[in-house]
């Protein structure tokens, strides 16, 4: 591609829209540091999940779009920030050593022992899982710990400024709270010097000139501590705005559940003397019943579950598409996501440069998508597994190599991965729900006609379009008015499911003799579920 910045200036894909907002922010207000900062946040009380992947993947897409828009002339950084100084408010039920953990309630997550015994603390364990998780996808990021930032003094300047602006921050926060909480609220949460716990207590005195606060400790004594050096942390809403100011964040995206609080984060950032970043709010995922996905409920899909049945590129595509639209995230969406990814790959080489920048695979692969490979869809592989009762990839490759002789597992590693995913998905989701039926009289006549037509073709024929051209008239000439009903009948009778890929493509890869035999066995009333 030539003159990418010019193309990027008009590109309609949402990462470019956000990148232009970041560029405008930099041009208007200047950079607060030596690089443009893109940030994502992470709560280390649990393991990384599908939302974590989505946030980092989408932010990476915006970062890459910004680099293209600016000709890569401005340094950028992606910070993945762990809020690991938060107190442990409750003990997740899935953790071992529940009794031991009870004594660490309300202590910073980094001070809670690791119940798994692999790291210094619970947060350190989950932070390591986060880094391993992100590294497995090849994300380019910098990990940052809230505990390290607070205790090293990196946040001291902003904490002192927050103390100076204590009343202004309270003016922002108090109207958002109920009367009972207003009476005890403080944006600063001291760490008890006697128990080490994060305390939600009112301030008895603040001294901005000394950078100190006074509060009643858990033993009833008044204690004065500096707000710096890890002796305190901020409540989560003020902390959000302070972090933006301290790190000079230029872009952050978050879920719709943060939307009502975003103005509060922004006001506090401004109070601390820094213009808040460009913010992008994405919609939350829903389960198959249309309910919001919740880690505690366990509804919806995990990353691990998606990756058991499909490549991570398909998950990245799912994250790219319409991020401001609520989408259902359940097992049924996986095959469609895989095939849409392949379709975008196949379209990419034939598109002009402007269209390529709109293609999701350009964003998924940082502008360098791979070749699509053999034109075999995931849904076609699923139907092939179904028809052949295949139990392994070698069996599938026996069909694939006949249809695409040049393809091998070595030359088509992505297709080889898809074959494995198809076997797993079929076994867990398709096979248990298969339901064969007998054809109606009208369908039987159409299928008999189709057999006659297919027998006139070369048995070695692999031209999917040529075969498809025989399928259409077989249904139409037999009196089936709606051809969708004809194809639905073929799949329900022959494969025990109501939908599938183009039948011509299926017959081409399965082989005409096998396809004819399959139809004749169905017409003879054989039990096709037995293979």
Task: Tell me the average confidence (pLDDT) per consecutive run of 10 residues in the chain, 531 residues long.
Answer: 87 98 93 92 83 94 97 96 95 90 96 96 94 94 98 98 98 96 96 97 97 97 98 97 97 94 98 97 84 64 90 96 91 94 97 96 97 93 89 92 91 96 94 92 96 96 94 93 93 90 91 95 88 59
Q: How far apart are CA 156 and CA 242, in angstroms?
A: 11
> The pTM is what?
0.92
314-346 burial by CB neighbour count: b if 16+ within 10 A, else e? bbbbbbbeebeeeebbbbebbbebbbbbbebbe
Residue of 88, 78, 77 whose CA lies nearest to 43: 88
> Left, alpha or beta for 176 (phi > 0: left; psi -120 to 50: alpha)?
alpha
* pLDDT (0 to 100) of residue 461: 93
Predicted confidence at residue 502, as pLDDT, reads 87
Is there a contact between 309 and 338 (Cβ–Cβ < 8 Å)?
Answer: no
Residues whose CB falls within 8 Å of the CB of residue 387, separated by 6 or more in sequence, listed in order:
494, 495, 506, 510, 514, 518
Neighbouring residues of 101: CB distance < 8 A, sequence distance ≥ 6? 88, 91, 95, 112, 113, 115, 122
Both tokens assigned to 330: 């359940």
Q: For residue 319, how many C-alpha atoms fall within 13 Å in the half-sphere facing its CB?
A: 26
pLDDT the model gives residue 2: 66
Residues 38 and 250 sit within 8 Å (Cβ to Cβ): yes
The Cα 6–Cα 123 span in angstroms is 44
Residue 214 pairs with which residues in a beta bridge? 205, 224
| Distances from the Cα of 77 to the Cα of 24, 38, 143, 365, angstroms | 18, 6, 11, 18
Q: Which pLDDT score, from 0 to 100, does residue 30 have? A: 83
β 36-42/249-255 pair status: parallel
The alpha carbon of 255 is separated from its chain's Cα centroid by a whole number of angstroms, namely: 12
């Amino acid at each position: 591609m030539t003159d990418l910045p010019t193309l990027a200036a008009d590109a309609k894909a949402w990462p470019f829209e956000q990148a232009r907002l970041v560029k405008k922010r930099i041009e208007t207000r200047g950079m607060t540091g030596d690089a443009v900062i893109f940030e994502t946040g992470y709560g280390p009380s649990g393991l990384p999940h599908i939302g974590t992947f989505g946030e980092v993947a989408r932010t990476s897409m915006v970062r890459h779009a910004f680099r293209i828009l600016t000709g890569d002339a401005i340094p950028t950084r992606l910070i993945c920030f762990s809020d690991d100084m938060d107190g442990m408010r409750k003990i997740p039920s899935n953790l071992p050593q529940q009794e031991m953990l009870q004594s660490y309630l309300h202590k910073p997550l980094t001070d809670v022992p690791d119940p798994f015994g692999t790291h210094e603390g619970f947060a350190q364990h989950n932070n390591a899982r986060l880094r391993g998780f992100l590294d497995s996808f090849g994300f380019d990021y910098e990990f940052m710990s809230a505990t390290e930032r607070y205790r090293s003094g990196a946040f001291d300047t902003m904490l002192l400024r927050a103390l100076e602006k204590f009343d202004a921050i309270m003016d922002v926060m108090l109207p958002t709270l109920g009367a009972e909480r207003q009476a005890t609220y403080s944006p600063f949460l001291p760490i008890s010097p006697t128990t080490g716990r994060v305390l939600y207590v009112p301030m008895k005195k603040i001294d901005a000139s000394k950078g100190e606060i006074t509060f009643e400790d858990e033993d009833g004594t008044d204690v004065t501590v500096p707000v710096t050096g890890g002796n305190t942390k901020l409540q989560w809403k003020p902390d959000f705005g302070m972090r933006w100011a301290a790190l000079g964040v230029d872009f952050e995206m978050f879920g719709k559940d943060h939307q009502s609080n975003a103005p509060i984060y922004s006001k506090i950032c401004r109070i601390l003397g820094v213009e808040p970043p460009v913010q992008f709010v994405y919609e939350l995922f829903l389960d198959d019943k249309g309910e919001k996905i919740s880690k505690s409920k366990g509804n919806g899909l995990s990353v691990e579950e998606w990756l058991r049945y499909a490549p991570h590129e398909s998950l990245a595509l799912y994250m790219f598409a319409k991020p401001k639209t609520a989408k259902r995230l359940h097992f049924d969406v996986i095959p469609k996501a895989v095939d849409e990814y392949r379709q975008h790959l196949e379209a990419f080489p034939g598109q002009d440069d402007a269209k390529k920048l709109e293609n999701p695979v350009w964003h998924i692969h940082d502008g360098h998508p791979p070749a699509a490979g053999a034109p075999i869809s995931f849904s076609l592989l699923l139907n092939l597994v179904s028809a052949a009762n295949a139990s392994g990839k070698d069996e599938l490759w026996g069909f694939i190599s006949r249809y695409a002789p040049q393809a091998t597992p070595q030359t088509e590693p992505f297709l080889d991965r898809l074959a494995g995913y198809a076997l797993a998905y079929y076994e867990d989701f398709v096979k248990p729900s298969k339901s064969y039926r007998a054809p109606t009289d009208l369908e039987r006549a159409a299928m008999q006609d189709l057999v006659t037509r297919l027998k006139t073709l070369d048995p070695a024929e692999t031209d999917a379009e040529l075969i498809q051209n025989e399928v259409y008239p077989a249904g139409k000439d037999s009196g089936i008015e709606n051809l969708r009903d004809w194809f639905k009948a073929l799949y329900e009778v022959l494969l025990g499911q109501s939908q599938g890929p183009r039948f011509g493509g299926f017959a081409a890869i399965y082989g005409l003799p096998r396809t004819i035999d399959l139809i004749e066995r169905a017409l003879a009333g054989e039990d096709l579920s037995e293979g």
